Amino acid sequence: MSTQKKHPKFEDLFIVFSNIIENFLLKIFLFLFIILIILQFLSQFDFVRSNLIKVEKLEGVPYQINDWYQNENDKNSN
């Protein structure tokens, strides 16, 4: 009986370990969620959106596949 108290069981150690991991994952999730909310809020402003989102500059501009294909061929030939 006394040896069991000196050395905790595997289940007890696993519970402690899983609680630590669970808290760590929860903190990561909350951090990423807060970052997501902040970035979504900042994307509402034109200045931030134009500098942060590269595709925003192409919004409303017709996409020319021939120009893109020629540019890619020029890059590959160099």
Print the domain residue range for 23: 2-77
How many structural domains comprise the chain? 1
Nearest to 44 by CA among 34, 52, 32: 52
Q: Where are the alpha helices (DSSP H) in 1-78?
A: 2-6, 10-42, 46-52, 65-77
pTM exceeds 0.75, yes or no = no
Specify whether the CB–CB gap between 48 and 42 falls below 8 A. yes
What average pLDDT does the segment 56-71 reach? Answer: 75
Question: Nearest Cα to 56, choosing from 47, 67, 66?
Answer: 47
Q: What is the pLDDT of residues 33-49, one digit of tens each?
A: 999 999 999 989 888 88
CA atoms within 13 A on the CB side of 56: 12
**CA angle (34 as vertex; 30, 40 as ends), nearest 5:** 145
Tens of pLDDT, residues 5-20: 677 898 999 999 999 9
